[in-house]
Amino acid sequence: MKRLSVLCFAMVMSASVIAAPETVEIDLVTARIEVADRKHPTHKLAAEELEKHLLLIVGERRPAKDGFAFVIGSKAPGGKDAPEWTSLAELTSNAVYFWGDDGKPEKGKKRIKARHGSLFAMYGFLEKVLGVKWVRSGDDGIIYKNMKAVKVPSNWNYSFFPPLELSNFRAKDRTFAWKEKWEKATPGPLRISSETAMKRAKDDVMWMLRQRHQTRNKFWYAHAFVDWNPKYIHSHPEYLALNEKGVRGNPNGPKYEGERVQLCLSNPAVQNQIISEWLASGTNLFLNVSPNDSGNHCRCEKCCSWDEDMAGEDFKSHKSDRHVKFWNILISKARKYRPDVQLVAYIYANWRLPTRREKIEYPDNFVGGIVPSIYEDSTPLIDEWVKRGMKRYFVRPNYLCYGCAMPRGLERFLFEDYKANYKQGMMGIDEDNWKRGRLMDFERYVIARAIAEPNLDFAVVEAEFLSQFGAAAPEMGEYYRRARERGEAARLEIVKKSGGRKIKALDDSLLSGSAFAGHTEADLDGDLAVIARALAKDGLSDAERRRVRGMQLVVEHAKLVLRFVTYSTAGHSDEDFRKAGEELLAFRLKHGDEMEENWGALFRAYPVEVRLWMRMHIKKRFPEITDP
């Protein structure tokens, strides 16, 4: 009898296991949102964002008190505490719980220094379960499918931990950040208001959150010594670089302050002054000594003796050895006061190439910000610096600082380049960026996705991006592949001609002209034919059609710019040039708002268009332009 009871019990248990539901159906219309702490900034934002996206997906919301619950800021029953920086989510029979490292009050303060644990957990649910994608900043970039309910595997859970210590995508609208600089060069009708620029900047910040970008280890770095020219030109001119005319200080004059100031690195007084200022600021863990942008390196005898130039080599070609020697001296001095000091310096421009003599003597005290060119392979460049002692480094590309109107088609290259850097061991990414319109959306998206999920395949990310075009996705995929084939070939041709690496590489923001090499008007006409087929597809929503139309404008604009630049060269009449300029200007004035472009970047950015607009005497037509 006892054996029979045990058998019956086993049968009951077996039946209950078989009967256990494999999925849980969530009614998205009636599901309610519960918040652990409505005053907590992360919990509050997570609730707002969840409600916003649910409303888009279902069209109407009627939360019920006894309905399914989305619980923000509380761990699931039996759930584990979230480790630092971690986001967790878990499904139960009647709720999804979102929790994680949401930050703690600062020492001695009541205000919470928020982190994004619960918020990122919620975004994970939106993406992985509801299929939401954020292909660009702003509401138009939210891609979703309409549904009233969703079935979720009963064992569903999610976790996220930021892969890098530093995850920075400079996505804030540069038109606002540099408003005066850019807007002075832009015709009045194309200028945007500060309110519009601020909205775009806020949209970009939200877009980065939706992409789950989180910096775990914040440290200060930027071009250092920008104020040393006016600060010391009179009292200590010996601190400043000796130029080719035998004069100390910046060539722009004693009042110049900015990213073109160079120092006399070999001067012990300079080294001691840097340490003194660091001590006076509180002996911070990070000592930023990033060199400034300039070829005006010091030409004094001692600084030159620190170089390892080859016979006949241009003075400005290779300045890595003098900089590494300088950094080693500074670390040696700083370690006396703080043994764990982290000296941070850009490895950039003509000191980006690996040293020929010097090595980094204190690898544990050095953080390199390596800035490769888009026209070289960053992988061996980083490997060679590692062999010279670089242990901790972040990559700080200018890849998206692009001042040209031509499509580049480099999204796959940028994606794979990022993944290669990640596998090499980079501890962070700081992706500089000139915010543009739809022209750069694909490149921006692939990098943003790789920052959060570096193990994704390009084909997956490509499909995500193309989903914004609905039924026209195949045709738009064909367009992007056409542009990619030309862009990658043009880039490789430049790399081939340079032997794989340019000794004297311009900043990527100044290499726009090379983009013209990959396109002809016939190429762009072919692109427009493909996009026209996309627009002719049945079943496109208004939003999908608008997105396709946006790319059509990008290509039409590129064709006009190509003609404008081509007609500016020898062999073409001045009349043809001016006609091309008028057509391009008319197009911009007509479609300026629709394209959401950073027009200042085009009208002002060297070396492509600015000289041509000066030749067009555009200031006579638009007298408000004061800085071409």
One DSSP character per residue, 451-509 reads HH-TT--HHHHHHHHHGGGGGGHHHHHHHHHHHHHHHHHHHHHHHHHTTTS-SSPPPGG
Of the candidates 443, 429, 431, 406, the one whose C-alpha atom is nearest the C-alpha of residue 558 is 406
The region of weakest confidence among 144-148, 195-199, 396-400 is: 195-199
Structure tokens at 91: 């499904």
The region of weakest confidence among 142-156, 222-236, 502-516, 523-537 is: 502-516
Give the per-residue pLDDT at 435: 78
The region of weakest confidence among 107-116, 140-149, 208-217, 480-489 is: 107-116
Q: What is the residue type of 35?
A: V
Distances (CA, A) of 216 to 166, 489, 598: 6, 38, 31
Give the per-residue pLDDT at 337: 97
Interval 450-479 mean pLDDT: 98
Structure tokens at 522: 């016939």
Give the per-residue pLDDT at 198: 82
Q: Above 50 in pLDDT, residue 109?
A: yes
Of the candidates 550, 544, 627, 548, the one whose C-alpha atom is nearest the C-alpha of residue 595 is 550
Residues 254 and 233: beta-carbon distance below 8 Å: yes
CA dist 509 and 259 (Å) reads: 15
Average pLDDT, the chain: 89
Residues of the chain above pLDDT 70, percent: 90
Give the per-residue pLDDT at 180: 65
Q: Above 50 in pLDDT, residue 297?
A: yes
Neighbouring CB atoms inside 10 A of 493's CB total: 14
- Which CATH number do you get for residue 93? 3.30.379.10
Interval 316-332 mean pLDDT: 96
Total domains, the chain: 1
Q: Residue 344 forms beta bridges with which residues?
A: 288, 367
| Residue 42 domain flag | yes
Give the per-residue pLDDT at 296: 86
Give the per-residue pLDDT at 167: 93
pLDDT digits (tens, 9 = 90+) for 394-445: 999 988 888 889 999 999 999 999 999 999 999 999 998 877 889 999 999 9
Residues 625 and 618: beta-carbon distance below 8 Å: yes
Neighbouring CB atoms inside 10 A of 188's CB total: 10
Interval 340-364 mean pLDDT: 95
Directed axis angle between helix 320-334 and helix 268-280, to 10°? 50
Residues 64 and 55: beta-carbon distance below 8 Å: no
Give the per-residue pLDDT at 508: 54
- 3-state SS class at 612: helix
Give the per-residue pLDDT at 185: 84
| Residue 154 domain flag | yes
| Residue 114 domain flag | yes
pLDDT digits (tens, 9 = 90+) for 285-294: 999 999 888 7
| Residue 189 domain flag | no
Q: Above 70 in pLDDT, residue 17?
A: no
Per DSSP, the chain holds a count of helices (H) and strands (E) of: 21, 15
pLDDT digits (tens, 9 = 90+) for 234-258: 999 999 999 888 999 877 777 777 6
DSSP 105: B
| Residue 44 domain flag | yes
CA dist 195 and 17 (Å) reads: 59
Interval 109-114 mean pLDDT: 70
Give the per-residue pLDDT at 14: 44
Strand order in the sheet with 342-347: 166-169, 428-431, 392-395, 366-370, 342-347, 286-288
Of the candidates 442, 418, 438, the one whose C-alpha atom is nearest the C-alpha of residue 430 is 418
Instruction: Please tell me which residue, 325 or 172, carries the higher pLDDT value.
Output: 325
Directed axis angle between helix 473-497 and helix 521-535, to 10°? 160
Interval 35-52 mean pLDDT: 96
| Residue 625 domain flag | no
CA dist 116 and 124 (Å) reads: 12
The confidence band for 452, taking pLDDT boundaries of 50, 70 and 90, is very high
| Residue 31 domain flag | yes
The region of weakest confidence among 342-351, 596-605, 615-624 is: 596-605
Note down the domain range covering 140: 22-160
Q: Above 70 in pLDDT, residue 206?
A: yes
Q: Above 80 in pLDDT, residue 9?
A: no
| Residue 83 domain flag | yes
Of the candidates 326, 365, 347, the one whose C-alpha atom is nearest the C-alpha of residue 430 is 347
Interval 169-184 mean pLDDT: 62
